[in-house]
Every structure is written in structure tokens, then in C-alpha cells.
A and B are shown apart, each in its own frame.
Chain A
Amino acid sequence: MSPRAAALHFDTVVIGAGTAGLTAATRLAEGGARVCVLAKGIGSTHLAPGTVDVLGYAPDRVEEPARALSELVAARPDHPYALMGVESVAPALQWFAGRIADGPQPGYRYVGDLERNHLLPTAVGVLRPSALVPETMAEGDMRTREPVCIVGTRSLRDFHASLCAANLETAGIAARAIEVELELDRADVNSLGLARRFDDPEFRAAFAAQLAPHLHGDERVGLPAVLGVRDPHGAWADLQRRLGRGIFEIGTLPPSVPGMRAFEALRTALRSAGGRLILGAEVIGAEREGGRISAVRAHAAGHDVRYHARWFVLATGGFASGAIALGSDWITRETVLGLPLRGAPAPGDPRFVGEYLAEQPMARVGVAVDGALRAEGAENVLVAGASLPGAVPWQEGSGEGIALSSGHRAAEVVLAEGAGVRAAV
């Protein structure tokens, strides 16, 4: 590294801008720490449907997540929830709900808790269990059995109403589907493009006028999750009023509009607490001092910058983000800091199995950590989110719960060590 390379100093550098990284960074900034988030790109928020799934399957469908969590950690002491402690989940959810409620989208909020899971339809009509959900989705809870009308449009290739309704029917819910024609100047929009239209009151009025005559009696209306990015609460309330009934959003293929709203809320909270977020900054190396990381090097905008910090939070994700990689030599590696991993199948053992929906032997790989989420071999690195070993987030329905709780918990660990005391810096 050239001696002329710029160097910056923070209390904590968080690597990764998904739910876990943003949570850790925001919580740290709120606690008074000087925080910088370095991220190669945008993270999990724009992919996941925007619900906070804490524990959906264990392996049967979970109705009461609080109770199921206790059973899970007893049975699997290597699970992230066991490492961080189940008591860390509720405060993290509460914290997150508060950031959304105070966020830039007026009136938009999350509802729910750990006592009962909602059962919200996915775009294929599966009833997916989620603990904390956007209010714009809550009306789709299928624990209540009112009939539903799923509304789609040919213009959005990432949501198919008829298939969703058909599977809801199979699940015993009176459901039907309508396809509306939207006046767009192109054959194809994605969910974000459509959501921007729904921010426009005139577009909503025209949409409601077209839809209203086709709706029956007391049925609820399910729509793809495109009801606005700037003012989703306003768009949702406006459509409910115009249609005179409950309406709810259903997650689409990525990009996820509700996820973008959450990202925006967390980013705003981070900034107002004085934290920095640098997207497009890929961490390409680390400097060590004994058992600690003293600085990381990030590459952004054509040059390298060295970021010194007392603490680092690694929230880079798993295989999906490239943070953990399997080479063609069949060896798994943590690609950012070169930390040791845990949970990889032994060489020669199966890495994957032929049945797609089975649990894959590679699924639980993650960065080896201790009970305080500290990385093995780097005592000032805390690990959060999908980088943690021991979980199968998609099959458990636990991804956002783990991300939020571990991000929140990592911040608490750092704050407890005094990193938030400005005077100490």
C-alpha cells in the first residue's frame, strides 16, 4: 500500500449494507460511536420481501415464534439465535419498528410481535409465516378467512395473480384473481417502476376507478407490493378509502419495494445519528496487529482508502453476496478478511445433494464466532447476519430475524466496551 493512500479513523467500521450491517451501524451511531459503513453494493433489503421473518418453520410451520425460538436454541446450540441469545430478538425488533415509524415515509409502520406469526401469501400463494410485517401487508393475514381477490396486471411480469389465487384456494381460502390493464407507455415495468406510479394520486384514482366495479361484497384485495416508495402509507390508505375495503401487498420478485422502503428508513436513521454509508466501497484487504484487525483497505472510485477502527462488524452475507465463496478447488473461504469458517462439509463429503428442496450440506457454513459474535482469530471483529454459521435462513424463515438481532446485538457488544463514549476517542 502506498504511504500516500488516504487514511480515515472511526470507532467502528461496518462492512456490508444489508439489514444486519445497517442495523449495527445505526444502533452504534445512535449510541454515540463514530461509524462508517463500507459496502460493495446494496444488500439483502432489495431482494427479500420486506417482512421480518424470525422463525417460520422448525421444521413445521411456527405459529408462536417466541416459544419456538426457545425450543430451537435448546435443540441447536450452534444456531445464531443460540449464540446471541433469544432475549436479544425482541429488543431488536422493537428498535427496527421504531426506526421505520420515525422514518422518511410518513405514517408507514410495521406491525406484529414474537407472540404470533402472520400468515401472508407469497406471489405463488404460499402462506408464509412472518413475525413483523409492513402495515401495508398485514391485511393479507390468512389466519382470518375472509375472501380475497388477488389483482395483477399483465404489465408486471414479476407477479401472477391467477397462480397466487389458485394456491390460496387450495389452502382453503375463498380466492379469485383479476387482471387489470394499466396504461403504461411500455410493455414491461418492474416493481419499482410501478411503485413510482402509485406514488401519484391521479394514477391511484384511475386504478381504483378501473378496479372498483369488479370487486365483490366483503372481499379483501391483494396487490403486488408496489404501493408507492415515497409515501406508501398514503398510497395504501388512499386505495383502501377509494375501494372501501382492506387491501394488502404481496411480495414480488426482486427488486423488493418494501425492502427498499426499509433500506431508506435505516439509511436515514444512520445519517441523522451521524453515521456514514459508502456504497461502492469494496473491502479488499485488512491490516492486522496480532489478534486484531487494525484497518481495512477499501477500493472505491478508482483509489484505495485505509479505514482504521477499534471495532469492525462483518455483515457481508453468505454465498449469495460473495462474502463466502467455494472455489473450483472445492475449498470454502471468507473472502473479505480471510477469517476461518465453520460448518463446511469435510473434503470428500457431499457439498450438495440432488434433491433441490432438501437441506444442502453447504447451507450452514459461516464465519466461526464465539458466544459474543466475535470472529475466531480476530478479537475486535463481530459477525452479524448471513455471515453467521448454523442457520438455513430461507428454509427456516429466519433471515431478517437473525440479521436484525445479530446486527443489534453486535452493536450492543461494542457499545458495552465503551466505543460509544466520544471522549475516549
Chain B
Amino acid sequence: MTVLSTDVLVIGGGATGTGVAWDAALRGFDVILVDRADLAEGTSGRFHGLLHSGGRYAVKDPHAAEECIAENVILRKVAADCIEDTGGFFVTTPFDDPAYADRFAEGCQATGVPCEEIDPAQALREEPLLHPGISRVFRVPDGNIEVWKMVGAMARGAQQRGARVLTYHGVIAIHRDGDEVTGARVRDERTGEETDVEARVTVNAAGAWAGHVAEMAGIEGVRILPGRGIMIAMNHRLVNTVINRCTMPSDGDIIVPIRTVSVIGTTDVHTEDPDDHTVHQNEVDAMLDEGERLVPGFRQARALRVWTGVRPLFEDSKAADTDSRDVTRSHALLDHAQRDGVARFVTMTGGKLTTYRLMAQDTVDDVCRILGEQRACTTAAVPLPGSEDGEPYKLGDRLARKEEHLRDDQLICECELIPRTRLEDAMRRRGTHNLDDIRRELRLGMGPCQGGFCIYRATGILHGLDGMTGEQANGALLHFLQERWKGTWPILYGDQLRQARLDDWIFQGVLDVGHLPS
């Protein structure tokens, strides 16, 4: 068995874990990060893409609001290439309690969230599809954040500083020597090969799965309340500004424009199993109804895809199960030496994507304390790879790049404007047989046709590049088709159903993939 040794072992490749790896690598620690799947395949990759201004929490959770706006300002500098400055509105619709607006403005004032009330007529000029009956509008610095790009940039930055990132490596055991955690055993989910990682400190950044990881270390009572929420991506940017209902947080109260789509979210349903991604019909209908209240005609727009994400809400007391929105959105750092008498093991959980950097900072500060080192955090000042120029991402960037190479590069995914050279680079660099990994990096197959044309092309290119067998290529193709279908079928109606039938025509008719040899 291979044995690796490192300063810091990070379990979990979401925004928090990757953030910890990046932070620790910047402070000069040797780092190994492991995840049972690809980076940001769990909760981090399953949200609506909102960079919070803090407005959402201004009334209900002022501390969270303060953290959000502080991190919002920092991330716009250090992760500029992953953030689009859409701005955000909080709008009072005819369906909302008009009294909330003043409380909202006061909350923003108190927490330092920049908030400017604007004339609803002005808001409707900027966002003509909004409900014409809106009565009050506040402008806040919301934005969107492309999480796969950001997590990928942090992983790359950490790797450039010597970190090792082992995706598709699930933890099968946490090693303990007496009352100290000394590392973990991981298994390559693709080959079955096992590796022991010896670490001076082990960080549990497994999010909604942190309780399971803690249990493997023999620690009871790390109780995560997984709060499951659904999101629906609508084709096109129905709005170009993040639109929040100006009301207490509730289901379907936000639409986030991100890349080529707009995402409506979300719900909050307590679930026992963080891997439960069932989409319920009533939740879909609720989202569409709420969308209709913000943007009349919402139901006539094309619903591309639905997914669920699981909030890792941490509950350290024995409080009764209620709406998990009532549990704090703040993060929790558990030093298991103090809490459970188990040394060199730290759990970071709770929190939200916008504050991942702060969570990572708190975690690595604690790692330093455990190791008796004094090393300052620099993640608030050092830009991520790709964000060095501080220029925020703009929606037209991809098209501009594509237009430079119109005549000398093929377009493989028309919806997301992915040229062949870029696809081939990613395939070579990742060395993966999984087209879903490529999707997360390049947004392959994420547009209106949901892979109708590009999946065959990408499979053919992958097979040609990699020298992989026909069976492996078939597996990649069928896996990706199934992955696309998973998020499509619960919301198939209207034009997207028409699109799906055209895709079937291609895959089941023209190509007959249902009868691939195996």
C-alpha cells in the first residue's frame, strides 16, 4: 500500500476544503486534499450561484450579514475572474408584507450592507420582466460566483505550491493513535487501490457528510442537519440582476442570473440522508409558482434543469427539529481536542459559500495553533490563479474569445461556446474518463440542448485522444447521458421536452446508443 505523509490532510473538496488547502498551501504547509468524488461535486456545486451581499440575512441573522458583506468585498478582489458583478435587487411584490421593507433597510444599515432604495420604475427599466406591481426596490451588491471555476483555481494554486489533490478518493478509515488522529486511509473509487495518508493535522471539511467523517474518528454527536433545497435553471437570463423577494427568507424567493441561465431557488426540507437528491413534484410546482410572482410568464420560459443541494447546517445542541432555516447560517469550528479529547483533528462545518474563505482562514488559524506555528493568513490579499488582473468576469468573455478563433477552431458545444482546443486541453490535463468532470470545468453540455450535440462529439474526441477502449468511451457517453437526464426528466415540459425528444432522436435514433456493445 502507498503511504503518503503531509502536514495537513483535508477531507472534502468543496469550497471549504479546497479553500483550506489553498490557505494552508499559501502559509507554506504541505497539504493533501481528498474527496470521494470530483471537486465541488457536493453542496458547493449544487447551489444557485449567489455571491451574497448579506441583504438576505440583514434582518434575521445580522452576524451572518456582516460576514457576508465583508467576504463579498474580499472575493471580488481575489476571485475576480469567478465573479460577475450583476448587482442585486430586493423587491417588494404585491404578495409580500409591505412592512418588511423598512425593517430590511434598517437591517442593512445596521450590518453595513450597502443598500440604496430606488424607484420601482427605474428597476423595471433595468429589469423589464419583473412583476410590474413591485412597490419598493433596494439595490445591493449581490453577484454571482462560478463555483467550479473558483474551486478549480484554488486547487490549481495549491498544487502549484506543492499540494496534492486526490479526487475520487473516499475516506474509508480515520487512523488514531491513542487520543490523536494521525491521518486516514483512502480508496481510489475508480481503481479500488488504497492509500494511507499520514498527517500532522486532519481537517474534516466534509460539509453535510462531516458527521460521518467524525464518526469514523470515533467522535459522536457532530450533528449536521442536512437541509435539502431544490433549484431550477431556466434557459436564458430572464433577469440580469439578482432578484430577491424583500421578505423573510422563504421558498423560491431568489432568481440568480449566472452564465447563460437564471436559477430560481430554493426550498428547505429536512432530510436524514445528504445523498438523497429526490426532486418532489410539489417542490417543482412551488418554484414555478414563486417564479411567476417575480417574473410573470415564468412558467412559459424553458426550464432546463433541476437539482438539489444539501445545506450542512450544524446543530450542536439538542434543539428540536424545526425549519432548518432557523439554525444559524454561521459556521462552526470544532476542535475535537477540547470537545472530545481527540487531538489533531478539526471539523469545519456549517456556513455558506460566500463565507468559505473566512471558514478556511479560521480553520487554518486553528491548524497553526495545534502545530504551534505562527503563520499569517494571506487569502484576503493573494488573488487566485486567473484572477491576478482583478477584472471581474463578464458575460461576453467566452464569445469574445471564441470570435478571435472563428476560422481556426471548431466549436464543440454551441450552447456554452466551447472550442475544440479548449476541450482537448482540459481532457489531457484532467486525464479523466468522466465527461462530467469536464462538464464542471468547462460547462460542457449545460446549455439549452443539454448535450444533444456535444456529448457525441466530446466522446469521439475523448476516445481519439486518450487511446481509451470502446467500452470505456461507451461508458463515458452513457454515464453523461444518464447524468443529464437525471436533472432533466422531473421538469420536462414545453420547449425543453421538445428539445429532449430531439436529443433522443439523435442518441436513440441516429446513434442507437441503447444498443452499444458491452
Contacts and interface: CB of A to CB of B under 8 A. Distances in A.
Interface of A: 47-49, 57, 61, 122-128, 157-160, 162-163, 166-167, 169-171, 179, 185-188, 251-254, 256, 318-322, 325-328, 330, 351-357, 360, 393-395, 397, 399
Contacts of B510: 47-49, 122-123, 251-254, 256
5 contacts: A128-B512, A160-B459, A167-B517, A186-B407, A357-B508
Contact of A320 (B410, B484, B485, B501): B501
Interface in B402-418: 407-412
B481 interface: yes
Interface stretch (B139-147, B385-393, B464-472): B464-472
Interface stretch (B206-214, B246-254, B439-447, B491-499): B491-499
Contacts of B407: 185-187
Contact of A126 (B303, B459, B471, B516): B516
A241 to B, nearest CB: 29
B494 A319 contact: no
B509 A166 contact: no
Contact of A162 (B464, B498, B508): B464
A160 B460 contact: yes
B293 to A, nearest CB: 15
B95 interface: no
Contacts of B457: 157-158, 160, 253
B506 A254 contact: yes
B248 to A, nearest CB: 27
B206 to A, nearest CB: 26
Contacts of B501: 318-320
B178 interface: no
- Of A47, A125, A185, A357, chain B has the most CB atoms within 10 Å of the CB of A357
Contacts of A167: 470, 474, 516-517
Given A328-B493, A395-B514, 17 more contacts: A47-B509, A124-B474, A124-B512, A126-B512, A126-B513, A159-B460, A160-B461, A160-B464, A162-B464, A163-B460, A167-B474, A253-B457, A254-B506, A322-B495, A330-B493, A395-B508, A397-B512
Looking at chain A's contact residues, the main secondary structure is: loop
Max chain A CB contacts within 10 Å: which of B469, B493, B495, B515? B515
Contacts of B482: 355-356
Contacts of A158: 453, 456-457
A226 B464 CA distance: 21
B323 to A, nearest CB: 27
A319 B498 contact: yes
Contacts of A128: 512, 515
A234 B491 CA distance: 48
Contacts of B494: 325-328
Nearest to B461: A160
Contacts of B481: 356
Contacts of B411: 157, 188
Contacts of A351: 489, 492
Nearest to B409: A187
A148 B336 CA distance: 65
Most chain-B Cβ atoms within 10 A of its Cβ — which of A127, A166, A251, A399? A166
Contact of A166 (B288, B470, B486, B500): B470
Nearest to A160: B460
B485 A354 contact: yes
A171 to B, nearest CB: 5
Contacts of B514: 357, 395
Contacts of A256: 510
B492 A326 contact: yes
Contacts of A171: 517
Interface residues of B, number: 55
B498 A253 contact: no
A351 B490 CA distance: 8
Interface in B424-477: 453, 456-457, 459-461, 463-464, 469-471, 473-474, 477
A127 B512 CA distance: 8
A61 B517 CA distance: 13
A256 B508 CA distance: 15
Nearest to A171: B517
Given A126-B512, A328-B288, A394-B505, A162 B460 contact: yes
A103 B510 CA distance: 24
A123 B497 contact: no
A253 B506 CA distance: 7
A54 to B, nearest CB: 14
Contacts of B459: 124, 160, 163
Nearest to B284: A328
A353 B500 CA distance: 14
Contacts of B513: 124, 126, 357
B504 interface: yes
Contact of B489 (A126, A166, A169, A354): A354
Interchain residue pairs A-B with the least CB separation, the first 4:
A160-B460, A166-B470, A320-B501, A356-B485
A114 to B, nearest CB: 20
A352 B460 CA distance: 29
Given A122-B510, A351-B492, A354-B485, A170 B456 contact: no
B200 interface: no
Contacts of B453: 158, 253
B395 interface: no
A213 B180 CA distance: 69
Contacts of A47: 502, 505-506, 509-510
A166 B469 contact: yes
Given A124-B511, A325-B494, A353 B489 contact: yes
A356 B497 CA distance: 14
Nearest to B506: A253
A302 to B, nearest CB: 23
A328 B515 contact: no
A170 B470 CA distance: 8
Contacts of B500: 319
A325 B504 contact: no
Contacts of A354: 485-486, 489
Contacts of B516: 124, 126, 167
A124 B461 CA distance: 12
B164 interface: no
A351 B463 CA distance: 35
Contacts of A397: 512
B509 A399 contact: yes
A16 to B, nearest CB: 15
Contact of B412 (A123, A157, A252, A399): A157
B56 to A, nearest CB: 27
B299 interface: yes
Nearest to A128: B512
Given A157-B412, A326-B492, A394 B509 contact: yes
A72 B425 CA distance: 49
B420 interface: yes
Contacts of A357: 478, 508, 513-514
A381 to B, nearest CB: 23
Contacts of A48: 505, 509-510
Contacts of A326: 492-494, 497
Nearest to A177: B464
A322 B514 CA distance: 24
Contacts of A328: 288, 299-300, 303, 493-494
A222 B182 CA distance: 59
B473 A163 contact: yes
Contact of A352 (B288, B299, B489): B489
Nearest to B303: A328
Nearest to A317: B501
A261 B509 CA distance: 19
Which of B408, B410, B420 has the largest count of A CB atoms less than 10 A from its CB? B410
A134 to B, nearest CB: 15
Interface in B142-179: none
A158 B515 CA distance: 20
Contacts of B474: 124, 167
Contacts of B504: 320, 394
